[in-house]
Chain A
Amino acid sequence: MTEFSAAVYQNEYLAGGSTDVHAIVTVECRGAGQAGQTSAGDAGEIVIVDTSASMGWPGVRAAQAAAAAALDQVIDGTWFSLIAGTHQARLVFPFDGGPMGMAQMSPQTRSLARQAIGYLAPDGGTAMGTWLELAARVVQSVPSVTQAHAILLTDGKNQHETPAELDQRMARAAGHIQVDCRGVGSSWEVGELRRIAQTLMGSVDLIPRPDQMAAEFATLMRQAMSRGVASADLRVWVPQGAQVLFVRQVAPSVEDLSARRREVNALTGAYPTGSWGDESRDYHVAVRLPASRAVGQEQLAARVQLAVGDQVVTQGLVKALWSDDSSLTARINPEVAHYTGQTELAEAIQDGLAARAAGDDRTATAKLGRAAQLAAETGNEEVTSKLRKVVDIEEPATGKVRLRKNVDKLDEMALDTTSTKTSRVRK
């Protein structure tokens, strides 16, 4: 039995005249079960591996091992397929040319798929939009698949289609499939893969060396198979006349969901959150109420709900209570403060690295210094340790840093991909 719960962290006290309400809403899922087993419909898994010429034979062999490791984690009965990506996309398995672009996992199909993996060879360029477009098409060829997920592996930049073409093809895939993106080595672009992952509700990360791919793929696929809730929407109701300033996922990683809003009714917006396993996610919701009320009055600022299909499975209430007691109104909720800091931390790192790449050392020093300060303040040790490889942190408290001269490209990319991963509040 899948159960959801929600908890709200906020300071509901507002000073007279104030109208902005911030809250962290933690949504937790328990008993999700396995993908394709608990909810209506089947699960579909696609492995997309880059087989462009730049991968070379060692890269392709590592990719073959990774693809096989991923398929080993797919539960029997799950629909799956394998796509090889170059400047075009090719369906490697199933290869029977039938109307279905996916096969159901069984000992036989697993063995056939392994054979097909063996025929992969390095050749051609890179056009990731075509890979995603094909993935979405094969998913749609099996109507019973209601939960589709892919792992996309690349080693390079998207050179054989324009950014606009990539955008168009991503848009066609959005809503059909969730994609976790992984870049191997240091020749790919974090920003490019992050954009794909954000659009297709997946994660982005760095795999430093080809021999680490298999373990990463197995982990990703195990995670995917443990997401028994095919999809859920975060719903945010606000009072008439109020404005949603933003809706952001803040843990386990920072994602601005605001642009995903779909209207449920005039007062309620739905923000897709993809599939869920046994996990907890934190959301930062900010609302501007239409007017301040008299001191002593209370009102609801938002109902934050999780909906599976049309069913609201849990709800948290964000409140506003006006007070003239400044000891109450001046208090900053620790969760809100923590995640506001984490969001700023992600921006500071990304802006700092971009400035560094552009040769603007002044801005880079300021931004990465601020990042060092925020990481120290919020206890984000992972970011701090990765920052140390890019800058020398002289005074964490004040954010005084010096850019390091010789920085390994991989260290810089690792810092970039880590920037959106947040630490939890220390409770």
Chain B
Amino acid sequence: MDDAVSAVDGVVGRECGTCGTVAGPADRFCEHCGADLPTDGRATSSGVAVPADPAPPEGPDTATAPMLAPARRQPPRPPCRECGGAVDSDGYCTQCGAKAPSERDHFAVAPAPGVAAVSDRGLRHHRNEDAAAVLADGAGRAALVVCDGVSTSVSSDVASLAAARAAADVLGTGSVGLAEGSARIAALGVRVTQAAAAAAAAVAAATPDDDAESPPSCTFVAAAVQDPVVVVGVVGDSRAYWLPDVGEPQLLTIDDSVAGQQIAAGRPRAEAEAGPQAHAITRWLGVDSPDQTPRLTPLEVDGPGWLLLCSDGLWNYCSEPAALGEVAARALGGAGGDPLTAASALVDWANDQGGHDNITVVLARLGGATGATGTTGMASVAGTASAEGTDQR
């Protein structure tokens, strides 16, 4: 299992490290099981070969180059999350027997300093229908996407993953160049709208022809980040929060849900969210959706802080911005400001509250206080949510 990635250079076919199916040279995901395929950084999702290194200089002439290249995957099995023991090739810990989560059930990625995503099955659901895709260059640019599959449909986990990846691909392509202020906001807004359209198309592509009853569907929240400007777009009830180091936490999104509409109309949040059908969503990505256009929220930050995207598996336990801000501050404090550790801590916290739903948390440091200084190149590491899990025997 550890070293199933066969050598590739984008020319010959290769085998999926999860199920062994032979994939095409430009494929990024296994057609059979959906697992991430290793890439050498040159093959893009459209199969166009571009130089990976040195990275092209930033500027308007780079508009066609991928801004954020997907990363090479590192497949070694991490130690057991419960006891730290080695995980056997059969998928269980050699010490405590805990089931090692499949990559689809639990994944954590940190594409660049200051940016991380963690997604987890939670405790009560049998699979993870959440998906996240994050790309970042460590120099203030990032593409962040969270999609939460609607569990009434059989293949929503496939749909959400396809949607998140498609959206991140769009968000990570091209550059807004030298545009600043409102021009930059407008350019990023167009990008988010295009990303949502690509995500919707991916969900439609993942919909079986004969599935008219309950076609796969998912929520969508994405952020196009070019520090200090962010544009967030949302369809459904996944959320984005801005958590400034100094000042009040803000919820950047309005849920497309019964409760969200009531809150927008002035009903107190706690009361609205406790009501009947409060969590029923009114918009989603899916072939049966009435409206898939993202509602955009621009933000130009005026100081350092954290942008947090999450699925309702987290916010259900701390819906008020102040409550979420407090939980996040504790996690970030305990993590010494490391977003991967903090996002994992937030997932653990949600599981401690009951883990009733899948949980996904994305954190990105904004406001110029990242460790990235003077990076001119765009070579990046990136991660995307990956992989159908190993089979559930």
By a CB distance below 8 angstroms, the chain A residues around B96 are 239-241, 299
CB distance from B80 to the nearest CB of A (A): 11
CB-nearest residue of chain A relative to B85? Answer: A240
Is B93 a contact partner of A300 (Cβ separation < 8 A)? yes
| Residues 259-300 of chain A, each 1 if its beta carbon lies under 8 Å from chain B, else 0 | 000000001000000000000000000000100001111111
By a CB distance below 8 angstroms, the chain B residues around A240 are 83, 95-97
Is B123 a contact partner of A239 (Cβ separation < 8 A)? no
CB distance from A377 to the nearest CB of B (A): 30
Is B95 a contact partner of A239 (Cβ separation < 8 A)? yes
| Residues 182-207 of chain A, each 1 if its beta carbon lies under 8 Å from chain B, else 0 | 00000000000000000000000000
By a CB distance below 8 angstroms, the chain B residues around A294 are 123, 355
| Residues 65-102 of chain B, each 1 if its beta carbon lies under 8 Å from chain A, else 0 | 00000000000000000010000101011111111000
| Residues 226-261 of chain B, each 1 if its beta carbon lies under 8 Å from chain A, else 0 | 000000000000000000000000000000000000
Give the distance in Å from the alpha carbon of A241 to the alpha carbon of B98 in the complex: 13
User: Does residue B124 face the partner (Cβ distance < 8 Å to A)?
Assistant: yes
By a CB distance below 8 angstroms, the chain A residues around B88 are 303
Contact partner of B90 (CB less than 8 A), chosen from A296, A297, A301, A315, is A315
Q: Is the interface of B mostly helix, strand, loop or mixed?
A: loop
Give the distance in Å from the alpha carbon of A300 to the alpha carbon of B80 in the complex: 13
A299-B124 in contact given A239-B97, A240-B83, A317-B393 (Cβ < 8 Å): no
CB-nearest residue of chain A relative to B82? Answer: A299
A299-B95 in contact given A240-B83, A317-B393 (Cβ < 8 Å): no
Contact partner of B95 (CB less than 8 A), chosen from A267, A303, A317, is A267
CB under 8 Å from chain B, chain A span 312-326: 315, 317, 319
A317-B124 in contact given A240-B95, A298-B99 (Cβ < 8 Å): no
By a CB distance below 8 angstroms, the chain B residues around A315 are 90
Q: Is the interface of A mostly helix, strand, loop or mixed?
A: loop
Is B123 a contact partner of A300 (Cβ separation < 8 A)? no
Is B124 a contact partner of A295 (Cβ separation < 8 A)? yes
CB distance from A321 to the nearest CB of B (A): 9
By a CB distance below 8 angstroms, the chain B residues around A301 are 97
Give the distance in Å from the alpha carbon of A317 to the alpha carbon of B393 in the complex: 9
A: interface residue count bin: 10 to 19
Interface size for B (C-beta < 8 A) is 18
| Residues 120-142 of chain B, each 1 if its beta carbon lies under 8 Å from chain A, else 0 | 00111110000000000000000
Give the distance in Å from the alpha carbon of A238 to the alpha carbon of B90 in the complex: 14
By a CB distance below 8 angstroms, the chain B residues around A300 are 90, 92-93, 97-99
CB-nearest residue of chain A relative to B392? Answer: A298
CB-nearest residue of chain A relative to B99? Answer: A298
| Residues 332-348 of chain B, each 1 if its beta carbon lies under 8 Å from chain A, else 0 | 00000000000000000
Is A299 a contact partner of B126 (Cβ separation < 8 A)? no
CB-nearest residue of chain A relative to B354? Answer: A294
| Residues 353-368 of chain B, each 1 if its beta carbon lies under 8 Å from chain A, else 0 | 0010000000000000
Give the distance in Å from the alpha carbon of A298 to the alpha carbon of B88 in the complex: 15
Is B97 a contact partner of A299 (Cβ separation < 8 A)? yes
By a CB distance below 8 angstroms, the chain A residues around B98 are 299-300
CB distance from A55 to the nearest CB of B (A): 55
Q: Which B residues have a C-beta under 8 Å from some C-beta of A?
A: 83, 88, 90, 92-99, 122-126, 355, 393
Nearest 10 interchain pairs by C-beta: A239-B97, A300-B97, A300-B92, A298-B99, A299-B97, A296-B124, A296-B123, A239-B96, A240-B95, A299-B98
7 A-B contacts (beta carbon < 8 Å): A239-B95, A240-B83, A240-B97, A295-B124, A297-B99, A299-B92, A319-B393
